Structure 1
Amino acid sequence: MKLNVKNETSRLRAVVLGTAEGIGGVPSLSDAYDPKSAEHIKAGTYPKEDDMVREMEAVKNVLEKYDVKVYRPKVINDYNQIFTRDIGFVIDDKFVRANILPDREQEIEAISHVLEKIEKDKIIKLPEDAHVEGGDVMLYNDHIFVGTYYGEDYSSFITARTNMKAVDHLKQHFPDKVVKPFNLRKSNTEPRDNALHLDCCFQPVGKDKAILYKGGFLNEEEYEWLVDFFGKENVFEISRDEMYNMFSNVFSISEDVVISERNFTRLNTWLRENGITVEEVPYAEIAKQEGLLRCSTLPLIRD
């Protein structure tokens, strides 16, 4: 397999879509990786496996409608394998294995049948102390935007998933790219104030547009840098509640086609007004785990 991903919106040809099969029952509160999952565990509204499987099948159907080759992880019983974006990501023709939370290491083994198709010298494994997850890595041609957390109290946040050591290693591996870090707001207890990954508060769409949430950035000048980079007229600003509902976590099949949650009325209207076809799917149950469409997809090949 010849990998190729340079941005978030070029025509998608091959992707790994996560699976909700075998996810099992409601996890214990102590096993929650993020405050939104914890919120729903406490409230008794944590999503059911059947509902999540149905939602992911809707996405698979849309991808196949556009002739995208869809790979799925091997099912591990009583294990969450929905968010494949976390376990690795492609930059140009290289696959970067993420250093994710130790409890989730089996997830990468479940896509070994995909990794076997990739030349060994095209797979990068970062050192163990360089923490990174794919939701924090956003490609924009010659730029790599990386969500991270600069604070010395990094280790006290289970929601801090990418550190500056990973940023430094990405700079070494991709010297021709501009690697730009962003200091994200983290909270272990309030999902409305937690940018778990960069794609929870920012994502490019279309040819030159972006979805952006100001409150996700600890440093206002970094948020302003993004507004200037895309141009204010090209930015769709989302609210705190829209960030909580994962408005920025849509997924592009191409510059002209975006998969979005069917309840994102304001966003979907804006996308259509900007000439983008919106494929609406139900994904509100999966959103209860603080992840959405981008989180559950791992692109391998784009044109």
Structure 2
Amino acid sequence: MLKININNETSRLRTVVLGLATSNGPTPKVEDAYDPKSLEHILAGTYPIEADMVLEMEGFNQVLEKYGVTVFRPKLIENYNQIFVRDIGFVIGDIFIKSNILPDREGELDAIQYVMDQINPKKVVRPPKEVHIEGGDVVLWNDYIFIGTYKGSDYKDYITARTNKEGVQFIKDLFPDKKVKEFDLIKSKIEARDNALHLDCCFQPVGKNKGIIYKRGFREEGDYQFLVNLFGVANLFHVTREEMYDMNSNVFSIDTQIVVSEKKFYRLNNWLRANGFLVEEIPYAEIAKQEGLLRCSTLPLIRE
């Protein structure tokens, strides 16, 4: 039996699900793109090829194994994108929450059923149908649960809006003892540089008291200010619009002092090292073309 336990983003990682890039399927058609960044690369003929993505994920897997992390991988589904496991489920405390994802991604959940079968069934929940919530929008910080959402009246028109107000309420009801704080995010269907697909595209804590943040990812200045007040401006690394596009805030912590990062994030990686972090740099720029990076391709199950 897996005793799942996740209360923040940075405690020592013991067990994780890492996505899969094998048999990723053909380059999607323009009309099938889920996000503006993928669309951009489909149109430009620069959409990532499977062999490159498999290599990048294998590099990530090797880093996780180097630190003694138990790594589960989804069961292979032929010609199917299984990279971004963060979308399909997430753990808060000792509860595994299955996401209500876009219907044609349902198979991704089936592919990790063998993992969920090792968890106490009373601790696995699936929200009702009207609740939309994805793991990338849920960022844990000890007593806090931060949730990215989109409050625009045109929510249903945005395939890039993944968590609704019902999703926020569902988490509030499920975890009455936690402080649940929602953040209204900027969305765009056409410009990836102005689309905070999930909360972890514009904010993520690192270490014990630091964070990476993109101010213009928040529709409300007050939401940004809340994080500045909580963490302190000196503890926040502010990314630029281009760095947000490259997914600088989507790194992944193995421990409070160990961060896995894309090797081309020069400015961020130098800041992390200057603040005492050990930075495991790996190539992940091909996977980033699908508007997801290191955090998106992991589903942590146990942190100490």
Q: Partner of 2:183: helix, strand, or coil?
A: strand
Amino acid across the alignment from 1:71? F
2:56 is matched with which residue? Answer: 55
Once the two structures are superposed, the pairs formed by residues 266-277 of structure 1 within 5 Å of their partners are: 266-277=267-278
Q: Partner of 1:185: helix, strand, or coil?
A: coil
1:208-257 per-residue CA deviation (whole Å, 9 max, x = no partner) reads 00000001000011101111110011000000000000000000000010
| Distance of 2:41 and 2:62 partners within structure 1 | 28
- C-alpha RMSD over aligned residues: 0.4
| Distance of 2:268 and 2:182 partners within structure 1 | 26
Deviation, 1:124, is 1.3
| Distance of 1:225 and 1:256 partners within structure 2 | 25
Q: Partner of 1:78: helix, strand, or coil?
A: coil
1:231 is matched with which residue? Answer: 232
Q: Partner of 2:10: helix, strand, or coil?
A: coil
Aligned-pair identity (%): 63
Matched, 1:302 2:303: yes
Q: Partner of 1:168: helix, strand, or coil?
A: helix
Q: Partner of 1:33: helix, strand, or coil?
A: coil
| Distance of 1:50 and 1:291 partners within structure 2 | 17
Once the two structures are superposed, the pairs formed by residues 148-163 of structure 1 within 5 Å of their partners are: 148-163=149-164
| Distance of 2:161 and 2:194 partners within structure 1 | 13
| Distance of 1:140 and 1:251 partners within structure 2 | 14
2:6 is matched with which residue? Answer: 5
1:131-178 per-residue CA deviation (whole Å, 9 max, x = no partner) reads 000000000001000000011110000000000101101011000000
| Distance of 1:174 and 1:97 partners within structure 2 | 15
| Distance of 1:41 and 1:155 partners within structure 2 | 24
2:91 is matched with which residue? Answer: 90
1:35 is matched with which residue? Answer: 36
| Distance of 2:171 and 2:120 partners within structure 1 | 19
Aligned length: 303
1:27-59 per-residue CA deviation (whole Å, 9 max, x = no partner) reads 111111000000000000000000000000000
1:90-115 per-residue CA deviation (whole Å, 9 max, x = no partner) reads 00000000111111111000001100
Once the two structures are superposed, the pairs formed by residues 188-207 of structure 1 within 5 Å of their partners are: 188-207=189-208
1:167 is matched with which residue? Answer: 168
| Distance of 2:63 and 2:260 partners within structure 1 | 8
Once the two structures are superposed, the pairs formed by residues 279-298 of structure 1 within 5 Å of their partners are: 279-298=280-299
Q: Partner of 1:105: helix, strand, or coil?
A: helix
Gaps of 5+ in 1: none
2:115 is matched with which residue? Answer: 114
| Distance of 1:143 and 1:98 partners within structure 2 | 20
Deviation, 1:24, is 1.8
Gaps of 5+ in 2: none
Once the two structures are superposed, the pairs formed by residues 128-167 of structure 1 within 5 Å of their partners are: 128-167=129-168
Q: Partner of 2:216: helix, strand, or coil?
A: helix
